[in-house]
Homo-oligomer: A and B are copies of this chain.
Amino acid sequence: MEVNTENIVKQFLYQGEPVAQQFPALHQSVYGKPLIYFDNAATTQKPYSVIHAISDYYSTINSNIHRGVHYLSQKATEAYEVSRNTVASFINARSSSEVIFTKGTTDGINLIADTFGSYAVNEGDSVIISAMEHHSNIVPWQIMCGKRGATLKVIPMNEAGELLMDEYEKLLDETVKIVAVTYVSNTLGTVNPVKKIIELAHLNGTPVLIDAAQAVQHISIDVQDLDCDFLAFSGHKMYGPTGIGILYGKEEWLEKLPPYQGGGDMIKTVTFKGTEYNDLPFKFEAGTPHIEGAITLKSAVDFITELGMDEISAFETGLLHYASTQVREIPRVEIIGNAIAKTSALSLSVKGVHPYDVGVLLDKMGIAVRTGHHCTQPVMDFYCIPGTVRLSFAVYNTTDEIDRFTESLQRAINMLV
């Protein structure tokens, strides 16, 4: 693949300024070198708008929600529900009662694995995941299958890191009760054909959960167009605060599923004899939620919307192509994951060099990358490698940073071989 690096945008501008200026954490030195942050798939940095929204929340309307008649509580409740509405529009949900605030992607997937398991999975049934899932989209299904006597089936992939759709079709039989796949692989960068995956599952009468942890910050998502039944993502990977995430679910499914956690706010009436559960989305939000996180997730969504998701996608794809072209020039370096459809994550393997060594040296040169299995051990097993060096991009990264990265990588390799 030959990429014309001429057309690549060097940096993303926001109101005429480099967007990086919105991110205080980027303007620091580590070990005396200016920081380059390429660990965005793990978590992104936060813009001032989000950080200020948090301080503002705690300095003004901080209060518990939903139950108070007093001013602060009303204001906080309103802001909480406005944020829910913002997220609902962002992913084009039919209604905001389909949008549940969770702790993060992992929490959302566990919620569905547990409740869907009780509702619909029995001895002899099966669940389909894929070969490139994050542990968070493997272990909850393993636990659930263990409890329910069901089997976990895995869609295999090819060397390039693309799912084998033929094999997927073969796996789809009447035992399959749910399919759970990632939209974008956090290790390989592969963008999976989730729309097709959902379509095929629905032909089999099977609902689909999409792990959008690595998609929602890079690709515009329309849950109605995808027609997914569930979709989970995390705030902290999309410029938002930690400890908050979203689980989208089709109303008809969420109505049917039993509640997950019990507690305040998710009930209508409680007696010691029994409990009547609340309406959606509250049925799935037990206890005091992460009010700060939920309210200020709106600022993160607004930030993305203001930059424009299409512009973000185009820019980040440009960075990915630029970086891929550059690293291919370096002897010994191999790209792990060569799917045709890719976004934002670039995994590298250096012949004869342990990824940990590369990570440590790059760190000392001021560059934060992630090394290891990226919570996708089965992917490492597939390629028979101990881990990769992964760069993952966000809007504030630049081609200059990639240039410094390639120089540094070259220097590290020279030290190590």
Contact of A9 with B by CB under 8 A = no
Contact of A263 with B by CB under 8 A = yes
**Minimum distance in angstroms from A70 CB to a CB of chain B:** 4
Q: Is the CB of A64 within 8 A of B46?
A: no
The answer for the CA separation of A58 and B244 in the assembled complex, in Å, is 15
Contact of A60 with B by CB under 8 A = yes
Contact with B along A291-332 (1 / 0, CB 8 A): 111000000000000000000000000000000000000000
User: Which residue of chain B has its CB nearest to the CB of A102?
Assistant: B103
User: Which residue of chain B has its CB nearest to the CB of A27?
Assistant: B59
Contact with B along A43-86 (1 / 0, CB 8 A): 10110001100110011111110011111110000000000000
Count of this chain's copies in the oligomeric assembly: 2
Q: Is the CB of B59 within 8 A of A263?
A: no
**Residue tally, chain A, CB below 8 Å to B:** 93
Contact of A378 with B by CB under 8 A = yes
Contact with B along A31-47 (1 / 0, CB 8 A): 10001010100110110
User: Which residue of chain B has its CB nearest to the CB of A140?
Assistant: B262
Contact of A264 with B by CB under 8 A = yes
Q: Is the CB of B25 within 8 A of A62?
A: yes
The answer for the CA separation of A267 and B140 in the assembled complex, in Å, is 11
Q: Is the CB of B242 within 8 A of A139?
A: no
The answer for the CA separation of A42 and B362 in the assembled complex, in Å, is 47
Q: Is the CB of B25 within 8 A of A58?
A: yes
Chain A 221-248 residues near chain B, CB threshold 8 A: 234, 236, 241-244
Q: Is the CB of A368 within 8 A of B37?
A: no
Which residues of chain B are within 8 angstroms of A46 by Cβ–Cβ distance?
58, 62
- On whether A289 and B62 interact (CB within 8 A), knowing A67-B375, A109-B263, A261-B107, the answer reads no
User: Which residue of chain B has its CB nearest to the CB of A137?
Assistant: B263
